[in-house]
């Protein structure tokens, strides 16, 4: 490993031990890969699952291969942070804790609001407490959803101010957090994330906790969520990338919730991970900050996302496009009672630019081509086999 790696201020970066909670998830798996391939840091990977990081683990973690250049720098700890006394010890052994653990699929927010609130607020409390009490740095994963709806969404549809960035661009230190009423349980997640952000901020202000809060704006790429009935429950509803991938793999129309009019900005996971690495290795620039991490140039409506994915998937798989490739579905039918939606999410990039000089690079079409090529290679055969089996039985 290159001993002369330098931070943004030209100082040598020292090897550190990182306690990564939720390391077995989508973001965690990419972050572990990056840390193993490009840095000298050690990762204590905490999760209840390790399927997405198995390829990085060695014999100590029950895996066969010991050939990795990073052998001995990643250790898996299978534990549920809800009730495991080993957590504090792992945080104490580390220089930095990164907390990614959460229930973070919208289909759960209105159908399992208690689990959602416990996971995103209550279960994160000991992590914050142990970091604060032991003087350890914390990078906590929040969400762009803490902004909720844009100010502009409350103006009449044709109002000219809706086009004014002041009414929709989301700024860490200026925008309000606007959620729907309590009966719209969709906001249980955003509200729990907002409260844990406030708690972390207060720990920083009153007790000197060194923290960084990350607000991801729709990070997407390989290994995101699951394909229902293949590597996740048949009735499960993952986030939009996996929902649409599942439809494409099965040759079904893509389901547009409430007309697919909501807007999102999508950022490639590999770009976003670069931003996280800069935070890890530049504490003086990242501590005390809340960072939007997204790609304001990759904005589409969900309908446009579906159109691009349909065309890209056809190109990478060689499968023809259906005559009716999309179908409308109401949110009540798709998600059930209590669903609500964020209308538009454009991240302001001033703070991350100023502090870390980070900018996303990958266009939506490029990131979808890479991701759908992966989805096709990984799942097409398994989906064919599962479909043939269910037709035969
Ligand atoms: P993910 O579901 O793939 O990963 C979360 C991981 O946490 C899972 O592997 C899960 O098993 C683990 N986990 C959950 N509860 C746990 C517990 N009690 N004990 C141990 N492990 C537990 O999700 P992700 O996309 O990787 O998201 C990571 C973080 O980023 C979450 O906090 C999420 O709210 C936030 N986030 C992500 C996005 C995105 O675009 N992917 C957007 C907004 C916010
Ligand atoms: N969506 C959709 N069809 C699907 C899945 C999701 O139209 O099969 C919509 C959903 O209503 C939302 C957007 O896609 O407007 C993004 O959903 P996602 O689950 O990725 O999470 P969000 O960005 O809302 O947090």
Nearest protein CA to atom 34 of ligand 1, as residue: 104
Instruction: Please state at what angle helix 125-133 crosses helix 187-207, rounded to 10 degrees.
Output: 10
Q: Are 271 and 360 in contact (CB under 8 A)?
A: yes
Q: What pLDDT, on a 0 to 100 scale, did the predictor assign at position 62?
A: 79
Per-residue model confidence as pLDDT tens digits over 326-350: 999 999 999 999 999 999 999 999 9
CA of 24 to the centre of ligand 1 (A): 9
- Give the integer Cα–Cα distance in Å for 47 and 234: 23
Q: Are 93 and 18 in contact (CB under 8 A)?
A: no
Out of 130, 147, 189, 268, pick the active-site residue.
189
Q: Are 51 and 60 in contact (CB under 8 A)?
A: no
Confirm whether 275 is domain-assigned.
yes
Confirm whether 365 is domain-assigned.
yes
Confirm whether 328 is domain-assigned.
yes
Q: What pLDDT, on a 0 to 100 scale, did the predictor assign at position 65?
A: 65
What CATH number does residue 223 fall under?
Answer: 3.40.50.720
ipTM: 0.99
Domain that holds residue 173: 102-381
Nearest protein CA to atom 15 of ligand 2, as residue: 262
Confirm whether 2 is domain-assigned.
no
Q: What pLDDT, on a 0 to 100 scale, did the predictor assign at position 181?
A: 97
Nearest protein CA to atom 25 of ligand 2, as residue: 106
Q: What pLDDT, on a 0 to 100 scale, did the predictor assign at position 59?
A: 83
Q: Where are the alpha helices (DSSP H) in the chain?
A: 26-38, 86-93, 106-109, 113-120, 125-133, 187-207, 240-249, 269-281, 283-286, 302-317, 331-335, 350-356, 364-392
Q: Count of domains in the chain? A: 1
* DSSP3 helix / strand / coil % (the chain, rounded to 5): 45, 15, 40
Residues in the chain predicted with pLDDT less than 70, given as ranges, are 1-3, 65-66
The minimum-distance atom of ligand 2 relative to the CA of 256 is 7
Per-residue model confidence as pLDDT tens digits over 149-171: 999 999 999 999 999 999 999 99
- DSSP 3-state assignment of 300? strand
From the CA of 124, the nearest ligand is 1
Pocket lining: 240 vs ligand 2, CB cutoff 6 Å:
yes
Q: What pLDDT, on a 0 to 100 scale, did the predictor assign at position 32?
A: 98
The minimum-distance atom of ligand 2 relative to the CA of 305 is 14
Pocket lining: 26 vs ligand 1, CB cutoff 6 Å:
yes
Confirm whether 232 is domain-assigned.
yes
Q: What pLDDT, on a 0 to 100 scale, did the predictor assign at position 66?
A: 60
Whether 189 is catalytic: yes
CA of 331 to the centre of ligand 2 (A): 10
Beta bridge pairs of residue 212: 139, 289
Confirm whether 55 is domain-assigned.
no
Confirm whether 97 is domain-assigned.
no
Confirm whether 25 is domain-assigned.
no
Residue owning tokens 């014999």: 59
CA of 107 to the centre of ligand 1 (A): 14
Nearest protein CA to atom 11 of ligand 2, as residue: 257
Residue owning tokens 């089996």: 389
Pocket lining: 22 vs ligand 1, CB cutoff 6 Å:
yes
């Amino acid at each position: 490993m290159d001993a002369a790696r330098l931070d943004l201020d030209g100082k040598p970066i020292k090897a550190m031990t990182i306690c990564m909670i939720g390391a077995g998830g989508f973001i965690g798996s990419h972050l572990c890969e990056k840390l193993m391939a490009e840095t000298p840091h050690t990762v204590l990977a905490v999760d209840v699952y390790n399927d997405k990081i198995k390829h990085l683990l060695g014999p100590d973690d029950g895996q066969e291969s010991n050939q990795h250049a990073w052998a001995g720098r990643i250790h898996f700890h299978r534990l549920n942070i809800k009730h495991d006394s080993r957590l504090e010890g792992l945080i104490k052994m580390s220089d930095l804790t990164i907390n990614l653990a959460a229930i973070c699929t919208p289909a759960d927010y209105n159908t399992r609001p208690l689990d959602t609130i416990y996971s995103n607020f209550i279960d994160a409390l000991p992590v914050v407490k142990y970091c604060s009490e032991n003087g350890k740095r914390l990078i906590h994963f929040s969400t762009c959803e803490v902004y909720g709806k844009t100010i502009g969404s409350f103006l009449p549809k044709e109002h000219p101010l809706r086009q004014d960035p002041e009414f929709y661009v989301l700024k860490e230190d200026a925008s309000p957090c606007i959620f729907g009423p309590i009966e719209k349980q969709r906001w249980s997640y955003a509200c729990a994330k907002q409260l844990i952000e406030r708690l972390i901020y207060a720990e920083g202000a009153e007790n000197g906790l060194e923290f960084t809060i990350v607000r991801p704006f729709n990070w997407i790429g390989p290994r995101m969520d699951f394909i229902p009935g293949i590597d996740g429950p048949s009735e499960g509803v993952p986030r939009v990338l996996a929902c649409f991938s599942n439809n494409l793999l099965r040759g079904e129309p893509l389901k547009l919730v409430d007309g697919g009019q909501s807007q999102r900005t999508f950022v490639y996971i590999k770009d976003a991970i670069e931003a996280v690495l800069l935070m890890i290795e530049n504490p003086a620039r990242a501590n005390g900050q809340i960072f939007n991490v997204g790609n304001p140039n990759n904005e589409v409506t969900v309908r446009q996302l579906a159109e691009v994915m349909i065309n890209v998937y056809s190109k990478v798989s060689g499968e023809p496009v259906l005559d009716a490739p999309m179908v409308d579905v109401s949110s009540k039918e798709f998600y059930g009672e209590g669903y609500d939606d964020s209308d538009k999410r454009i991240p302001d990039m001033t703070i991350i630019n100023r502090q870390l000089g980070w900018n996303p690079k990958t266009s939506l079409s490029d990131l979808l081509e890479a991701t759908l090529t992966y989805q096709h290679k990984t799942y097409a055969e398994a989906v064919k086999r599962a479909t043939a089996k269910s037709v035969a039985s």
